[in-house]
Structure 1
Amino acid sequence: MSNSNAELIARLQQHDVGAFDALYWQYHEVVYRNILKFTKDAIAAEDILQEVFIKLWEKRHTIKTEQSVAGWLFVISFNLSVNHTRKRLREQTLQKKLAAIEPDSGMPAGIIRYEEQYQLLESAIQQLSPQKRKVVTLCKLEGKTYEEAAGELKISRNTVKEHLQAAMVNLNDYIRKKAHIYIAFFVALLND
């Protein structure tokens, strides 16, 4: 039996681990290099590579035998790399903002750890509508201008500004209700 992609996909759909192995060995190096070019992080690239091939196994029934396996793997790896990079950028932005806040800013020493702060902020952002969440992510976490966010979301600059103002009110209210000791920290962070 030849190892053409169509045959390998047909075998993969029949739960043939040998077909999965053949596809892995055929494509893992090029997929890894593409991920590494995008993420510039070898450890993350290895993790994403594993996710790509896990998805290949999980989605094996949805892949058509005439479909390009290389193209499918590239799209999945690209999407996972973008998600990883966005998450890393958000975390780096938040860390920079945290570092800029002076230690004696009224926060009780040793009470609040970074992870708790981050989780509360993430929880507050998740309470927003999808559009407001996108605007907050773009403008506050990724540092984009109103114009850049408007272009990316295909809405007007004024709409971005209105969504951001409303989101900030919602975030401040949520945080105030959830944890009184965080108010000064997050007001400073979000209104920065």
Structure 2
Amino acid sequence: MTTNTFTDQLVYRCRHGDVRAYRELYDSYSKAMYNICLRMLGSAADAEDILQEAFLQVFNNIGKIQQEASLAGWIKRIVINHCLSQLRKKKVYFEEVDELHVSDEVGVDEQQFAMSVTMVKEAIAQLPDGYRTVLNLYLFEDYSHREIGDMLGITESTAKTQYMRAKEKVRLIVKQKTTA
């Protein structure tokens, strides 16, 4: 087998039991995957636990990755699925709606609110699990509302509504902090 890229070589070495390759794989992807876990779960302890579980699955199934698959994408999918499983265990509630007409943007003067990255992160962390999950999957993981709905077992309309409500709640939390 001829390997051309670092990731191809890494996968090849892992498939053949190279312990150092497992460490390199973990070191290469764990920080980004931890950030996904932390954003989705909102707890450092939960994020660490789920990250470890996800990487165990990655290591146990490294032989199953398809040659043409993106290693990072494959690992990310495993991590997100573990996060979603954890949220299901916590019985995260997603509010079902038939059809809610909400304007895409609320009249907000962006200049009026000096939203620092820290304030927004803190606001997102304060969101209920359902809102935070949808917001993270849409904004940071780049899933469509339809894909989010399929992943969470909710309608596309509900995913959109959860996202818009999450966005509004973040805006309100940040506004409260800037006026306090």
Higher relative contact order (CA 8 A, sep 6+): 2
TM-score when normalising by structure 2: 0.49
TM-score when normalising by structure 1: 0.47
Larger radius of gyration: 1
| Structure number having the greater helix percentage | 1
